[in-house]
Chain A
Amino acid sequence: MEQIRAAILGSGNIGTDLMYKLKRSHSLRPTIMAGIIPESEGLARARQQGLAITTDGIEGLLKQKDSFELVFDATTASAHKQHAPMLRAAGKIAIDLTPAAVGPYVVPLVNLEGHVGEPNVNLVSCGGQATVPLVSAMRSASPVEYAEIVATIASKSAGPGTRQNIDEFTDTTARGLQRIGGASKGKAIIVLNPAEPPILMRNTIYGIVEESDPEELRKSIEEMVARIQEYVPGYRLRAKPLIEDFPGRQQKKVTLYVEVEGAGDYLPQYAGNLDIMTSAAVKVGEEIGKHLRAGTWKRDRSEARL
Chain B
Amino acid sequence: MEKGQIGGSFMSEQISVHILDSTLRDGSHALSHQFTAEQVARVARGLDQAGIEMIEVSHGDGLGGSTVTYGFSKQSELELLEAASSVIERGKLAVLLLPGIGTKDDLKMARDLGAKVAQIATHVTEADVAQQHIELAKSMGMEVVGMLMLSHMGSPEKIAEQGKLMERYGADVVLVTDSAGALLPPTVRERVRALRDAIQIGVGFHGHNNLSMAVANSITAIEEGARWIDACTCGLGAGSGNTPTEVLVAVLDKLGYSSGIDLWKIMDVAEDIVRPLMQKPVRIGKASLTMGYAGVYSSFLLHADKAAQQFGVDPRDVLVEVGKRRAVGGQEDILVEIAMTLAQKNAEVEASPSRRLA
Which A positions have Cβ atoms within 8 angstroms of B? 146, 148, 150, 152, 155, 160, 163-167, 169-171, 187, 189-195, 199, 202, 204, 206, 208, 238-239, 242, 253, 255, 257
Give 4 A-B pairs besides A155-B126, A166-B99, A192-B100 with Cβ atoms closer than 8 angstroms.
A166-B100, A187-B64, A192-B126, A253-B68
* Pair B328/A193 contact, Cβ less than 8 Å: yes
Q: Shortest distance in angstroms between A235's beta carbon and chain B's nearest beta carbon? A: 17
Q: List 30 A-B contacts (CB under 8 A).
A: A148-B67, A148-B69, A150-B330, A152-B333, A152-B334, A155-B125, A163-B129, A164-B131, A165-B132, A166-B100, A166-B129, A167-B132, A170-B103, A187-B64, A189-B67, A191-B328, A191-B329, A192-B129, A193-B327, A193-B331, A194-B123, A194-B126, A194-B328, A199-B325, A202-B334, A204-B333, A204-B334, A206-B69, A239-B340, A253-B68
- What A residues does B104 contact at CB under 8 A? 167
For A166, what are the chain B residues with a Cβ–Cβ distance below 8 Å?
99-100, 129, 132
Q: How distant is the Cα of A148 from the Cα of B66 in the complex, in angstroms? A: 11
Q: Do B68 and A239 touch across chains, with their CB atoms under 8 A apart?
A: no
Tell whether B336 is near chain A: CB-to-CB under 8 Å. yes
Closest to B128 in A: A163
Cross-chain contact of B128 among A164, A167, A195, A202 (Cβ < 8 A): A164
B341 adjacent to chain A (CB < 8 Å): yes
How far does the Cβ of B135 sit from chain A's closest Cβ, in whole Å?
10
Measured between alpha carbons, how far is A189 from B102 in the docked complex, in Å? 8
Minimum CB distance partner of A174 in chain B:
B103
| B258-288 CB contacts (< 8 Å) to partner A | none
Q: How far does the alpha carbon of A192 sit from the alpha carbon of B122 in the complex, in Å?
A: 9
A163 — which chain B residues lie within 8 A by C-beta?
Answer: 126, 128-129, 131
Report how far A257 CA is from B334 CA in the complex, Å.
9
Q: How distant is the Cα of A169 from the Cα of B334 in the complex, in angstroms?
A: 21
Asked if A238 and B69 make an inter-chain contact with CB atoms under 8 angstroms apart, the answer reads: no
| In the complex, residue of chain B having the shortest beta-carbon distance to the beta carbon of A191 | B330
B337 interface contact, C-beta 8 A: yes
Which B residues lie at the A interface, using CB under 8 A? 64, 67-69, 99-101, 103-104, 123, 125-126, 128-129, 131-132, 325-331, 333-334, 336-337, 340-341
The 6 A-B pairs with the shortest beta carbon distances in the complex, nearest first, are A195-B326, A204-B333, A191-B330, A206-B68, A150-B333, A190-B100
Q: Which residue of B lies closest to A160 (CB)?
A: B128
Among residues of B, the one whose C-beta sits closest to the C-beta of A205 is B333
> CB-CB < 8 A to A190: which residues of B?
100
Task: Output the nearest chain A residue to B326 by Cβ-Cβ distance.
Answer: A195
With contact pairs A166-B100, A194-B123 given, residues A257 and B129 touching in the complex (Cβ less than 8 Å): no
Known interface pairs A150-B330, A167-B104. Does A187 touch B67 (Cβ–Cβ under 8 Å)?
yes
Q: Are A193 and B326 in contact (CB under 8 A)?
A: yes
Q: Nearest chain A CB to B8's CB is how many angstroms away?
A: 43
What B residues does A202 contact at CB under 8 A?
A: 334
What B residues does A171 contact at CB under 8 A? Answer: 103
Q: Which residues of A contact B125 (CB under 8 A)?
A: 155, 194
Chain A residues lying within 8 Å of B340, measured Cβ to Cβ, are: 239, 242
Given A150-B69, A166-B132, A206-B68, also A191-B103 (CB < 8 A): no
Closest chain-A Cβ to B229's Cβ sits at a distance in Å of 27
Distance between Cα atoms of A148 and B68 in the complex (Å)? 7
Chain B residues contacting A170 (CB-CB under 8 Å) are 100-101, 103
How many Å lie between the Cα of A195 and that of B125 in the bound state? Answer: 10
Known: A164-B131, A165-B132, A194-B123. A189 touches B103 (CB 8 A): no
Shortest beta-carbon distance from A174 to chain B in Å: 9
Report how far A242 CA is from B311 CA in the complex, Å. 12
Question: B161 → chain A, closest Cβ, in Å?
Answer: 13
A132, chain B: closest CB distance, angstroms:
17
- Choose among A189, A192, A204 the residue with the greatest number of B CB atoms under 10 Å from its CB: A189
In the assembled complex, the CB of A170 is this many whole angstroms from the nearest CB of chain B, namely: 6
CB-nearest residue of chain A relative to B125?
Answer: A194
B316 to chain A, nearest CB (A): 21
Return chain B residues, CB-CB under 8 Å to A239. Answer: 337, 340-341
